[in-house]
């Protein structure tokens, strides 16, 4: 077999494979001999079928299969031997590769287009400056956190009358246009969260009502949400979307979640390990916790901004036309050439980042091993392991072993750990320009840039 490569552009080439009969005939004969040995054809003992008959029956198919195998294996080996750094995989060149005639041809030529990975220079240093946003928790954020804590640790009461925000339990009965019960219609007990009643006129029907009162309303119009209505009535979303009838709803119970009082008992409940005596001390601690929780968002934005900057600085050229064709063929009919054209800018940016990422991982020897993944999984369940005894360790290992069998989850953790290593690398090599920013302003900024 003869294999050659011809450049067709800065980042594209054609690989040509030439096969002569002596390249494949021995393998074809070997496979047919195996067929002959196993063949079970009426009139012949097993293994005694004439080779000529086997060749006539299977020769063409076997030759086609073996040639295809040989071409595929030889092409892949050539790429490895020649150390070709390609993008995607080779695509058959249908213009140069003529129609194959396995009945009459003895010699064959196959042509494949390849896209070559571009070379580029990229140095991480403090000349690259990226904003790092230190998100501050203002009074509004602290108030929200405090309200959530009060609600979470509050108590449920059963007031006499309904107020906005209450949960109302009762019995639904579907009504016809004459306000009579629909025979065979919906009839069930359910909860109505008054916070979900978006139509004010419908909400007013509930406010001030007592247990035993019957309210008539259309749940779909009241909530303006088919999913919510479906959940209340125990039907599908599609069925909920078609609801036109009113329902009677007889109130059987009113529940109200009252916020916990701001006292030392509450402070101890929220922060049992600390000596918080006043509301002001609590607010200071909440502010601190909120800002710690914002670090992950700051890191994510810093990472996104760094990726954008590096892709821009690297100025990586791609074999665009080859890649567009490859995306279409790799999609196996899921994407048209027109769709690829409209989405290619986003795809090419992603590919450029993948090339940069691979370069950095290699250059800085960033490694994530199985033990790293196992330790990460263990950290998720560290709170379960209150005792460091042998039995607890055994249970932990069983959990880890079970999760390690989930390839999708393991890949997600690998990616997460690589991202963390890249983040640490960027923080070490690139100059961070720290900027203080309020949370709402940060959300607005992140929404605009992502």
* 155-258 CATH pick, 3.40.50.11540, 3.10.129.10, 3.20.20.140, 3.10.50.30: 3.10.50.30
DSSP string of 91-146, one letter each residue: EE-TTTSPPP-TTT-SSEEEEEEEEEPPP------TTSEEEEEEEE--HHHHHHHH
CA angle 111, 113, 119 (to 5 degrees): 140
Within the chain, which residue ranges are assigned CATH 3.30.70.1050?
2-116
Listed in sequence order, the residues at least 6 apart from 282 whose beta carbon sits closer than 8 Å to its beta carbon are 146, 262, 267, 270, 271, 276
Confidence of residue 447 (pLDDT cuts 50, 70, 90): confident
Q: What's the confidence (pLDDT) of residue 235?
A: 94
**Of 40-54, 106-120, 375-389, 414-428, the least confident:** 375-389
CA distance linking residue 208 with residue 415, whole number of Å:
54
Q: What is the mean pLDDT of residues 85-101?
A: 90
pLDDT at 130 over 70: yes
**Of 227-241, 274-288, 314-328, 380-394, the least confident:** 380-394
**Of 218-227, 329-338, 347-356, the least confident:** 329-338
Instruction: List the alpha helices (DSSP H) in 39-109.
Output: 51-81
pLDDT, tens digit, 9 for 90 and up, residues 4-49: 999 999 999 999 999 999 999 999 999 999 998 888 888 888 888 8
Q: What is the mean pLDDT of residues 217-223?
A: 95
> Pairing between strand 129-136 and 431-438?
parallel
Coil/strand/helix, residue 216: strand
Query: What would the two tokens of residue 308 be?
Result: 């954008």
Cα separations (Å) of 410 from 375, 376, 379, 397, 403? 12, 10, 14, 15, 7
Q: What's the confidence (pLDDT) of residue 47?
A: 80
Within the chain, which residue ranges are assigned CATH 3.10.50.30?
155-258
pLDDT at 383 over 60: no
Fold classified for 2-116: Alpha-Beta Plaits (3.30.70)
Query: What would the two tokens of residue 64 be?
Result: 């086609």
Q: Which residues pair with 16 in a beta bridge?
A: 4, 111
**Of 97-111, 243-257, 311-325, 398-412, the least confident:** 97-111
pLDDT at 262 over 90: yes
pLDDT at 450 over 80: no
Proportion of the chain above pLDDT 70, given as a percent:
98
Q: What's the confidence (pLDDT) of residue 387?
A: 52
């Amino acid at each position: 077999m003869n294999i050659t490569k011809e450049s067709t552009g800065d980042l594209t080439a054609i690989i040509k494979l030439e096969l002569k009969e002596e390249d494949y005939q021995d393998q074809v004969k070997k496979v047919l001999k195996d067929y002959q040995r196993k063949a079970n054809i009426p009139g012949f003992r097993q293994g005694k079928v004439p080779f000529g008959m086997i060749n006539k029956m299977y020769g063409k198919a076997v030759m086609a299969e073996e040639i295809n195998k040989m071409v595929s294996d030889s092409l892949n080996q050539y790429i490895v031997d020649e150390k070709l750094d390609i993008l995607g995989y080779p695509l058959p060149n249908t213009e140069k590769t003529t129609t194959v005639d396995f009945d009459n041809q003895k010699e064959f030529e196959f042509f494949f287009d390849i896209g070559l990975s571009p070379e580029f220079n990229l140095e991480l240093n403090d000349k690259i400056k990226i904003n790092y946003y230190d998100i501050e928790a203002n009074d509004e954020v602290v108030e929200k956190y405090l309200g959530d804590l009060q609600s979470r640790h509050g108590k449920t009461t059963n007031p006499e009358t309904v107020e906005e925000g209450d949960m109302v339990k009762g019995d639904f009965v579907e009504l016809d246009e004459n306000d009579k019960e629909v025979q065979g219609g919906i009839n069930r007990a359910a909860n109505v969260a008054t916070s979900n009643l978006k139509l004010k006129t419908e909400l007013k029907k509930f406010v001030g009502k007592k247990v035993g009162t019957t309210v008539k309303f259309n749940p779909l119009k009241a909530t303006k949400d088919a999913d919510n209505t479906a959940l209340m009535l125990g039907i599908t979303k599609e069925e909920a979307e078609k609801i036109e009838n009113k329902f009677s709803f007889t109130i059987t119970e009113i529940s109200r979640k009252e916020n916990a009082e701001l006292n030392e008992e509450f402070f101890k409940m929220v922060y049992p390990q600390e000596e918080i005596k006043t509301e002001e001390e609590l607010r200071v601690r909440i502010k601190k916790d909120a800002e710690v929780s914002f670090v992950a968002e700051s890191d994510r934005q810093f990472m996104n901004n760094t990726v954008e900057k590096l892709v821009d600085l690297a100025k990586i050229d791609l074999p665009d036309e080859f890649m567009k064709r490859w995306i279409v063929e790799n999609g196996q009919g899921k994407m048209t050439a027109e769709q690829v054209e409209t989405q290619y800018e986003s795809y090419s940016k992603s590919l450029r980042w993948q090339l940069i990422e691979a370069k950095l991982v290699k250059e800085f020897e960033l490694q994530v091993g199985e033990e790293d993944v196992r330790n990460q999984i263990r950290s998720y369940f560290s709170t379960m392991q209150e005792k460091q005894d042998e039995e607890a360790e055994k249970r932990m290992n069983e959990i880890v072993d079970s999760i390690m069998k989930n390839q999708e989850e393991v890949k997600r953790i690998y990616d997460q750990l690589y991202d963390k290593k890249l983040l640490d690398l960027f923080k070490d090599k690139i100059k961070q320009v720290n900027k203080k920013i309020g949370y709402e302003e940060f959300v607005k900024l992140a929404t605009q840039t992502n």
